[in-house]
A and B are shown apart, each in its own frame.
Chain A
Amino acid sequence: MKQPEIADPKPPTYKNRPRVGVFVCHCGINIAGVVKIPELMERVTKWGDVAVVKDYKYTCSDPGQQMIRDAIKADRLDRIVVACCSPTLHETTFRNACAEAGLNPYLCEIANIREQCSWVTEDRDKATDKATEIVRTVLAKACADQPLESITVPINKRALVIGAGIAGIQSALDIANAGYEVVLVEKEPSIGGHMAQLSETFPTLDCSQCILTPRTVETGRHPKIKLLTYSEVESVSGYVGNFKVKIRQKARYVDFDACTGCGLCMEKCPGRAESSFERGMAKRKAIYRLLPQAVPNRPVIDAQSCMYLLKGKCGVCAKICPTQAIRYDDKDKFVEEEVGAIVMSTGYELFDAAGLGAYGVGTVPDVIDGLAFERLLSASGPTSGEVKRPSDGKTPKKVVFVQCAGSRDSTQGMPYCSKICCMYTAKQAILYRHRVHDGEATVCYIDVRTPGKGFEEFYRRATDDGIQYLRGKVSKIFRQGDKVVVWASDTLAGRKVELEADLVVLATAVVANPDGVALARKLKTQLDTHGFMTEAHPKLRPVETLTAGFFLAGCGQGPKDIPETVAQASAAAAKVLAMFGSTKLTHSPTVAVVDEDICVGCGNCERTCAYDAVKVDEQRGIAVVNAALCEGCGACAMSCPSGAMNHKNFTKKAIFDMADQF
């Protein structure tokens, strides 16, 4: 390996020799313990263009920044290189310091001699040599830098919230109550999400509808919320602060304004279809609403099960509707909304347990999942809250609850823990015992996870009630006569256990709503390997995405319970309101720039760009960069065959200058 030439670096060729200040940070002993700082400074001082070299123990501190500000003024510096930690940490800090001292912040560069140097070796000499090389390279860049001004974009202070479960509802209300307009889009005919399907919620055993309906009603009535139900987002174009959203309003076949929600049509409709709301526990009519407390209280016709729409027969609903609100000729409509911020709250689904072949789902009728059991428990459910098993409608006297059905399973399911199941299973077992006083409940578990407030006490309540907790993951579920047999084990006693049940409830894994996954792909927001939306930083930025202007809330980002969902939704709203609180948005100016004299409009850059930030103007025959959308990744500059595309402060010349320093 060629050793770096330290004594005589090639000086960059500039007309006006810059006056660069180099500040070397010790970072305690992080850098100083490995890099020999006095030696580094001695080498740097000898270079042309370097007007002053200083060091400091913690340069990011106030005195450290003051040192930089003072030096800029005293030594008439027009470029700064700070040799310290990664720019992701303090580039903004030092650029702000420059700006305060009157120096353009984009003339300040960071030489990372910590993560890229002192943290990856113990050899002091090698570290010092490498640090020298890094500083010299960044010095070349600093000399090539031009002063830049931040780009400002206007903000349209309207928000879009996609998905109106409890997360979307909370975000929408928070933003609307702050005085801004919100467009709330929901793909189902009414709002409330999965929370509307629940009977009671843990750990308080509040009736789910009772705590949800005040929110849904407020949402439906809110003057600042434009509620678009039975609608889906088709496309989003534009950039943060200036989004154009195309929304498809699906044909309801019912005139929204003429309909009064009286429900006569639903009484008489002969059509039947599997009700997704009832999770396979019941059928619904072809003209239907999801639940009696639906907001908005307007039914829709499902064209796949309506005899009139399919075959031209029946038409009963149109005949008896007192306000003639049925519109068989309805079509999907498209609306365009302009918004400045988007909150994605598309929610979750339950893992399809048919994938767990040994559990008998689909073949044994009395094996159901948690949401289906919730419908059996629910007072507005298909059995009016009486627990009856699907096969014969009898009241089950023995119910076995199977935890981790598809969770914590790297081979057949999801490797992660779904977080809410231990709690909702305890709840369901307690509620079952409330309804069936002589019923026996057994919970087969691996661990019982009770991290929230009141959760451990709630679990104690379940065991105090005589609910049997058996530690052992279930291997097989099958039928024997009219019983369901469960092969489980008691690992604490160290033996296999065979249980006979009347009904088995599987706590299946929580997965990302597939419609939400498809939407994220369409909108090019980030998803993790399981389809959950990815936050900008797992610890410190849990409600933002890496796409500016898109925020996250709810189970679409990962499994969580209602209090966490509501907290996250309000947090997302707060981020939106913070954005709306400023008059304009600033955007980094290190963006792509086209040399219009050279560009021939070949379109390579347009095809390469992941942000839709550069397009070829057909009339002028050259590429045009939308600086507000450009994220400065440099891909277009690399793909440009003629060299017309360059990158502000990352010009080809700057890069060659930097490379020359090796």
Chain B
Amino acid sequence: MHIPSGLSLVREIEELSGQVVADCYQCGCCTSGCPVGEQMDPPPSKAIRLLQLNKAAELLASDGIWMCASCLVCGTRCPRAVDYARIAEACRALILRTRQSKVDPDTVTAPELEEIPQQAFIASFRKFSV
């Protein structure tokens, strides 16, 4: 599957996510409230900024989009109702659909498999693997 480039990539992300990046006025509330905001690079508001500046390729190459836990606090508190979790998911989907995984199920150890609720595995692989 081919990932588009330039502005059409931003539009593709908007279409997949159902979000309009122009709606964001860069207040930073999403970054402020993200539970993993300190570790996410770029954090949500900066990620959206990259899309606004037509730098989608940079966002797709980042680690931050693979850090999202889909907790939806960003979208819930956004004053413009922009849902970053969906944008991150659209970005990940574009990469996953080129058959590139981020999490390799084979790296899960036997004790982890024994202990961690399977819901976590299925969810993780759904979001991060192909």
Name A residues whose Cβ lies closer than 8 Å to a Cβ of B.
Answer: 358, 404, 408-413, 446, 471-476, 487-491, 494-498
Contacts and interface: CB of A to CB of B under 8 A. Distances in A.
Contact of B29 (A410, A474, A497): A474
A475 B73 contact: yes
B26 A496 contact: no
Contacts of B26: 446, 491
Nearest to A356: B77
Given A491-B45, A491-B46, A496-B43, A473 B80 contact: no
A494 to B, nearest CB: 4
Interface string B57-92: 000000000000000010001111100000000000
A475 B35 CA distance: 11
B121 interface: no
A530 to B, nearest CB: 16
Contacts of B7: none
Given A412-B79, A496-B37, A475 B43 contact: no
Most buried by B among A404, A472, A498: A472
Contact of A411 (B32, B43, B78): B78
B31 interface: yes
Nearest to B42: A494
Contacts of B46: 491, 494
Contacts of B81: 410-411
Top 6 A-B residue pairs of the complex, sorted by shortest distance between their CB atoms: A475-B33, A472-B28, A496-B37, A475-B32, A409-B79, A473-B27
11 contacts: A410-B80, A446-B25, A472-B29, A472-B45, A473-B32, A473-B79, A475-B29, A476-B32, A488-B28, A489-B28, A495-B38
A490 B42 CA distance: 13
A471 B28 contact: yes
A586 to B, nearest CB: 49
B33 A491 contact: no
Contacts of A473: 27-29, 32, 79
A499 to B, nearest CB: 10
A491 B28 contact: yes
B34 interface: yes
A476 B73 CA distance: 10
Given A410-B79, A491-B46, A496 B34 contact: yes
A489 B45 contact: yes
Contacts of B31: 472, 489, 491, 495-496
Contacts of A409: 79
Given A404-B27, A496-B38, A476 B79 contact: no
A568 to B, nearest CB: 28
A40 B25 CA distance: 52
Nearest to A494: B46
Contacts of B32: 472-476, 487-489, 496-497
B58 to A, nearest CB: 13
A619 B43 CA distance: 77
A600 to B, nearest CB: 56
Contact of A487 (B27, B33, B78, B79): B33
Contacts of A410: 79-81
B65 to A, nearest CB: 15
Nearest to B45: A491
Contacts of A408: 25, 27, 79
A358 B77 contact: yes
A492 B109 CA distance: 41
Most buried by B among A490, A494, A497: A494
Nearest to B77: A475
A411 B79 contact: yes
Given A491-B28, A495-B38, A495-B43, 7 more contacts: A408-B79, A411-B79, A473-B79, A494-B46, A496-B31, A497-B32, A498-B38
Interface in B72-126: 73, 77-81
Nearest to B39: A496
Nearest to B34: A496
A498 B79 CA distance: 20
Interface string B35-56: 0011000110110000000000
A78 B37 CA distance: 78
Interface string B1-37: 0000000000000000000000001111111111001
A487 B31 CA distance: 9
Most buried by A among B28, B38, B43, B46: B28
A657 B90 CA distance: 63
A358 B29 CA distance: 11
